[in-house]
Amino acid sequence: MLKLINLELKRNNIKVYILSVFIAFAALLGFTYLFAYVPHKQARNSLEAMLMEAVSFMFSTYDSIISLTCIISVSIFTILSAVMYTQFVVEDYKGKQVYLLFSYPVNRSKIFLSKVIVVFSFTVLSMNLCNAAVFYVFYLTESISPLVVTDTFSMQTVAEAAKSTIIFSLLAGALGVISMKVGFIKKSIPATIIASVIFVTFMSNVLSVPILIGSTLGNNILILACLIIALCVSIFFVIELMRKVNRMEVE
């Protein structure tokens, strides 16, 4: 399996995806500071003052800022994962490219699984590193000149950031697999990416609800429930596609 994974890394150029991670880092860092700055914004009229008062509590604690940043991170890395699957899986199993894959003296399901492992691992690892860098920079600046004045950055906050990052990164990896399933069945690159956008839009709206009502416990339970469901569905889809690949005939 390790040889197949190395082969996939050599066959596919991942430098562009590494560059995308750096761009994601810059975007997430900007969003994090934007969230922290929102309560400091001065309203210019009564309507804006009402709106600011209604949303300011969402950005008044580090936990809420971390959660919102992680939700955006899930969106970015799910779409990035879907784009990677279009190159690693969807393109390889449509058209004449499939002739080359089926000519390898290796079990077809192992080849397919190695592709999924590469993309899933890259998604989870890169999101963890990206979020860790974002929160580390934010922590350094907050320790010097804090923007969030109603909360303190403690070790509990660090632990919450680490836990949220791990959970959300697994969620992004699972959503990427589900998006790949759609693209594989449709044999369409646009379908893969569009599916990922639809999934992350729905998931972001669902995960934002507890933050809107200020329920930390509700947010944790909802995140875990979404993660378990997404992982179970993605594992089922991978097993199903492995069987489908083994039964595929080259026309």
Contact of 96 with 187, CB cutoff 8 Å:
no
Query: For position 120, what pLDDT does the model report?
Result: 96
> What DSSP line would sit under 103-146, residue for residue?
TSSS-HHHHHHHHHHHHHHHHHHHHHHHHHHHHHHHHHHHHHS-
Query: For position 211, what pLDDT does the model report?
Result: 67
Question: 174: pLDDT confidence band, cut at 50, 70 and 90?
Answer: very high
Percent of the chain with pLDDT over 70: 78
Question: 13: pLDDT confidence band, cut at 50, 70 and 90?
Answer: confident
Query: For position 103, what pLDDT does the model report?
Result: 62
Asked if residue 214 has pLDDT above 60, the reply is no
Neighbours of 248 (CB within 10 A): 13
Query: For position 110, what pLDDT does the model report?
Result: 84
Q: How far, in Å, CA of 201 to CA of 146, rounded?
A: 31
Q: How far, in Å, CA of 126 to CA of 131, rounded?
A: 8
Strands (E), 160-211: none
Tokens encoding 195? 């599916």
Contact of 174 with 150, CB cutoff 8 Å:
no
Choice between 61 and 231, residue whose per-residue pLDDT is larger: 231
Choice between 216 and 115, residue whose per-residue pLDDT is larger: 115
Question: 219: pLDDT confidence band, cut at 50, 70 and 90?
Answer: low
Among 8-12, 34-38, 151-155, the minimum mean pLDDT is found in 151-155
Asked if residue 161 has pLDDT above 70, the reply is yes
H/E run at residue 221: helix 216-247
- What are the tens digits of pLDDT across the range 46-96? 545 555 555 555 666 778 888 889 999 999 999 999 999 998 888 877 766
b/e per residue, 164-192, with b = 16+ CB within 10 A?
Answer: bbbbbbbbbbbbbbbbbbbbbeeebbebb
Q: For 121-127, what is the mean pLDDT? A: 96
Q: How far, in Å, CA of 179 to CA of 196, rounded?
A: 5
Query: For position 9, what pLDDT does the model report?
Result: 74
Question: 97: pLDDT confidence band, cut at 50, 70 and 90?
Answer: low
Asked if residue 22 has pLDDT above 80, the reply is yes
